[in-house]
Amino acid sequence: MDIDILLILQEFRNGAGACLTDFMTKMSFIGEMNTVLIIIALIYWCVSREFGQYLLMGWSGNRVVNGLLKVTACVYRPWIRDVRIVPDSDALAAATGYSFPSGHSMNAASLYGGGAIRKELPKVLRIVLGAIVVLIAFSRNFLGVHTPQDILVGAGAGLLVMWLTSKLIAWADKNPGKDILVMCVGIAASVAVAVFAAVKSYPMDYDAAGNLLVDGAKMANDTYKGVGWCVGFLTGWILEKRYVKFSTDIPLTTRITRLTIGLLSYYAVSLVLLPLVKSWIPGAGGTIAYCFIQMFYVTFIFPLCIKHFEHAPALSK
């Protein structure tokens, strides 16, 4: 039935023209991993440190959960399961790893859904954020890269993780010093997921020509990314809380400065430094190190820099 639904959507997509497909492609784009991480980083640096911490923790946890579920279920992408499925060509670039559950849906649930479940936000904004989650999840079906099961489980699991994250942060705030326990348990769980992904066996199915359909070891790459991001967040979170404690109660000009410098420095780290790290450290270790540094920069290094440089009288207030 899931393939039948995708075939119906595929026929509709082919007949609807480029306008609707372009819209769905854009909705899918704002649910991509790096897009979501950048948006959350800007919220953390420039809008609300506390809300940003909640989003970063929830998103990092969701990436580990998504990676664990993917390498456990090992569900092939729709076009591998049925050759009648022809995904949108632009969507294929971000369709990495196994299919179940949808990473885009979990990303959407982390950022937009994470805001939608926060009762302190205006009701209209929460409704809009909830609608964005639905549109991003549906776009993955419309573009032919995920089944309905993929997006439903992805969005549901993502929202559950965000709800648990809000409870965990509230508990840590009420119990000073327990955040170290949260960090240790989170890192231990992340490492366990990485080991599981590295040592488990994967399906070895071949096509009629004798070619391996899917290399499970390569599909585990998304899992290693999630582990790196989660460990990077937990480490940076503790260090920032202990030694930085930067503020987002700042003038508009300072917010704009942070946003500009933050974006430029983030891309400098991601496009220059991190490829070097991956070239020095091959395989899964390089992927984990790459994502650890990326998240550690977002969570601790850049806040440390802005706390130091904003001591200047012209920026302090």
**pLDDT tens-place string over residues 209-249:** 888 888 888 888 899 999 999 999 999 999 999 999 999 99
311 is catalytic: no
The predicted structure's pLDDT at residue 312: 56
**Active-site option among 104, 126, 140, 258:** 104
**pLDDT tens-place string over residues 163-173:** 999 999 999 98
**Active-site option among 49, 70, 146, 225:** 146
**pLDDT tens-place string over residues 2-12:** 899 999 999 98
What's the pLDDT band for 19 if we cut at 50, 70, 90? confident
What's the pLDDT band for 313 if we cut at 50, 70, 90? low
DSSP secondary structure letters along 87-135: --GGGGGG--S-SSS-HHHHHHHHHHHHHHT-TTS-HHHHHHHHHHHHH
Average pLDDT, the chain: 91
**pLDDT tens-place string over residues 245-295:** 999 999 999 999 999 999 999 988 888 877 888 788 888 899 999 999 999
The predicted structure's pLDDT at residue 315: 41
The predicted structure's pLDDT at residue 91: 87
How far lies 135's CA from each of 118, 132, 314, in Å?
19, 5, 43
The predicted structure's pLDDT at residue 274: 75
- Which 8-state DSSP code applies to residue 178? T
Mean of the pLDDT values across residues 13-19? 84
Peptide bond into 101 cis (omega under 30): yes
For residue 107, which phi and psi values (nearest 5 degrees)?
Answer: -65, -45
Q: Looking at 102-111, 239-248, 265-274, 300-309, which range is the least confident one?
A: 265-274
The predicted structure's pLDDT at residue 184: 96
Closest Cα partner for 78 from 3, 9, 153, 1?
3
pLDDT for 21 beyond 70? yes
* Whole-structure pTM value: 0.91
